[in-house]
Amino acid sequence: MKKQTAGRDQLGAFAPKFAELNDDILFGEVWSREEQLSPRDRSLITCSSLLTQGVPQLEAHMKMAKQNGVTKEEMVELITHLAFYTGWPKAWSAFALAKEIFGE
């Protein structure tokens, strides 16, 4: 996995400690524990969590999931499954993102 710099790029001057924690701890240490969970599995878990919360970070993580090997079929199944647990409107929104990211 390439080194994450989004925290520093977007918030480094405004919230330097948060940026450091994002880039070095969350992505540098937690996401790099590939012996425990693969990046693909972490992406599926993270997209699931973000979908249930209905937060905008889902888009970036859905793109990361695609890079980490999650297929369109898997993302469609993830959203379909979670629709019954998290709510139909959130699923509709997630499908709109998935169509953009994974194509039709």
Take residue 102 and report the two structure tokens written for it: 């994974």
Say how far apart CA 34 and CA 12 lie, in whole Å. 27
CATH number of 38-102: 1.20.1290.10
Across the range 80-96, mean pLDDT stands at: 97
Say how far apart CA 59 and CA 47 lie, in whole Å. 9
Q: Which part of the chain is CATH 1.20.1290.10? A: 38-102
What φ, ψ does residue 90 adopt, rounded to 5°?
A: -65, -35
Q: Name the percent of the chain lying above pLDDT 70.
A: 97
Structure confidence at residue 15 (pLDDT): 96
Across the range 56-68, mean pLDDT stands at: 97
Say how far apart CA 20 and CA 11 lie, in whole Å. 9
- CA distances (Å), 42 to each of 56, 68, 81, in order? 18, 9, 17
Task: Enumerate residues 6+ apart whose C-beta is below 8 A from 31.
Answer: 1, 4, 39, 42
pLDDT band at 6 (very low <50, low <70, confident <90, very high): confident
The DSSP symbol for 58 reads H
